[in-house]
Amino acid sequence: MWLTREARPQFTEQEAIEKWEQYRSRIDSLKPEPLCQKLPLSNADQQHRKVFLQETANRGDLLDLIKIDPMCLPIHQLRVIVPRYETYGPKVKTRNGWITTALPTNPPAPQITMNYVQGGTMTEVIYELPHGEFVFPFIPQMHLNGFATGGFMIQQGNRTVEVTTDGKRYLLWAGYHRSLARLVSNIGDGNERAALMAVTRADFLATPNQAPEMEAKRLLCLRERPPLLKDFLDDDLCMTLNLQKQRFIYRVKGNIEALEDTT
């Protein structure tokens, strides 16, 4: 349990169980309430939707752009870092600020540093990353000396704030810190709080029998009263803890090995 590993000071196993049960009993007693549904688009929203979908047409996972109030959006990510969402507050309060920060079609390149160690046939490369949302895909179009050789490249994941749906409810899929910052910045005004979000193709809600941890999370999101984004602001439902500070790296190691040839 992460309470016994990441919290500072750390909890004993018994303390963690007791703390967890306190919150679990409160959550289990919550009554169902209406979930967020998409809202009508203004003329400006419709124009931005058109441009956004044109500029992201190469992404096969994006289905639409909708307006929705993040306050009562169900969530699958059950932890946020307070200093991280607080940095977004001034950036996402206004409509234009939200579009720039939450729906970038050409986001700026992240700050990444690389170090490497070579010895004999062994090479180890370490990328220092600003956050944990990076991948290391194979890029067939990469060229070397004029030839399309293909290659691997460290890349930041998509930076759009996204929801997914099973046709019955929307679920906040990505962009938790920006969405929470939007909620906090406009907590009392539902009209200002509502924001444009991309709809992504994800089968999480509609696919049963996943790995045990994912299936438990899926069933939690499908409850009559699932966890909602606004719950992060309720001290009776959300723990506030000091956590061990983390840094993120991507480590790539390569070496030559001799294997038995059985052909």
Domain ranges of the chain: 31-107+157-233
- Residue 31's contacts (CB-CB under 8 Å, 6 or more residues apart) are 225
Contact criterion met (CB below 8 Å) for 175 and 162: yes
pLDDT at 245: 86
Whether the predicted pLDDT of 145 surpasses 80: no
Q: What is the CA radius of gyration of the chain?
A: 22
Closest of 198, 197, 181 to residue 94, by C-alpha: 181
- Residue 41: DSSP 8-state: P
On average, the pLDDT of the chain sits at 91
Which residues contact residue 65 at a Cβ distance below 8 angstroms, ignoring those fewer than 6 apart? 48, 49, 52, 53, 103, 196, 197, 198, 199
| Model confidence pTM above 0.75 | yes
> What is the pLDDT confidence band of residue 144, given thresholds at 50, 70 and 90?
confident
Residue tagged 């929203």 (tokens): 45
Phi, psi dihedral angles at 27 (to 5 degrees): -65, -40
Question: 195-200 and 162-165 as β-strands: parallel, antiparallel, unpaired?
Answer: parallel
Q: Is the pLDDT of residue 59 over 90?
A: no
Q: What is the pLDDT of residues 14-35, one digit of tens each?
A: 999 999 999 999 999 999 999 9
Beta carbons within 8 Å of 32's beta carbon, 6+ residues apart? 224, 225
Please state whether the peptide bond connecting residue 208 to the residue before it is cis, i.e. omega within 30 degrees of 0.
no
CA distances from 64 to 119, 175, 200 (A): 50, 16, 7
Q: Is the pLDDT of residue 263 over 90?
A: no
CA atoms of 93 and 231, how far apart (whole Å): 20
What residue has token string 């190469």? 58
Summarize the confidence of residues 102-128 as an average pLDDT: 92
The predicted-structure confidence for 34-57, as pLDDT tens digits, reads as follows: 999 999 999 999 999 999 999 999
Taking residues 252-262, report their average pLDDT: 92
240: closest CA among 71, 30, 77, 19? Answer: 19
Orientation angle between helical segments 82-92 and 95-102, nearest 10 degrees:
130
Which pLDDT tens digit goes with each residue over 184-238? 988 776 677 899 999 999 888 888 877 888 899 999 999 999 999 999 999 999 9
